[in-house]
Structure 1
C-alpha cells in the first residue's frame, strides 16, 4: 500500500511545545495599543467637529465620557450616554480594549452618544 505523500509530510512536521505561563507573565506581556474610535451623535446630542479619535486601549469608557463632556462643554450635572453599535451602553469601568476586541468594525470602534437614554 502506497503512503500519501501529503500525509507523510504532515506527520513529520514538528510542532512547538509551549510551556505553561503564569498569569503574571501573561498580563505583563500585554501591551496597550491605540484604538480608533468613531463618535456619532444621536438624538439631541451636540455634534462634535472631530468624529474620529485615537484612544489608548487601556482607558475605561468612563474616561471617554468625561473627555467628551469637557470637549462639548457640558455642565457637570448633565449626563452623556455612550452606546456600542446602537445596541447597549457599556459600564463606565469597561476597558476600551475589550469593546474593541469584541465589537470593532473595519478597525474602528463605533460609539453613539446622546444626552438622554436611547438604546439598551
Structure 2
C-alpha cells in the first residue's frame, strides 16, 4: 500500500537508486538498489558501509548530481521525487569529500 505525501501525491514504498563510486571508494558489484522510500541518506550509508566492509569510523559521502551532499536526515523519497531521471535516483559515493 502506498501512502500520500503532504502535497497529495502518492509516495512509493520503494525507490530505485543507482550508486556510482567516486575517487578511491570501493566499487559495488551491484549498483542498482531498490530501497525503502522512507530510508534516509544515513540509513543508506549504514547499509552500504556494511556491504563495502568499511569500519563504522570510516567516512562515506553521498552526492546528488555530482554537486551537493544531501543532509543525512534527507529521505530518499524526497530526493527521488526531485532528482530522479528515468525513475532512478543517481547517487555518487566517495570515502573523501569530492564535490560541494
In structure 1, the residue matched to 2:39 is 59
Please state if 1:46 is matched with 2:26: yes
Q: Secondary structure at the match of 1:111?
A: strand
Q: CA deviation at 1:33?
A: 1.9
TM-score, length basis structure 2:
0.88
Counterpart position of 2:84 = 104
**Larger helix proportion, structure 1 or 2?**
1
Q: What are structure 2's unaligned runs of at least 5 residues?
A: none
Instruction: Give TM-score, length-normalised by structure 1.
Output: 0.74
Cα separation, partners in 2 of 1:73 and 1:87, compared to 1, 3 Å: same
Where is the strand percentage greater, Structure 1 or Structure 2?
2
Q: Which has the higher contact order (CA 8 A, sep 6+)?
A: 2
* Structure 1 spans left out of the alignment, 5+ residues: 1-24
For 2:61, the equivalent position in structure 1 comes to: 81
Q: 1:26 to 1:113 in 2, by over 3 A?
A: closer
Query: Is the contact made by 2:5 and 2:11 (CA closer than 8 Å) also made in structure 1?
Result: no
Corresponding pairs, count: 95
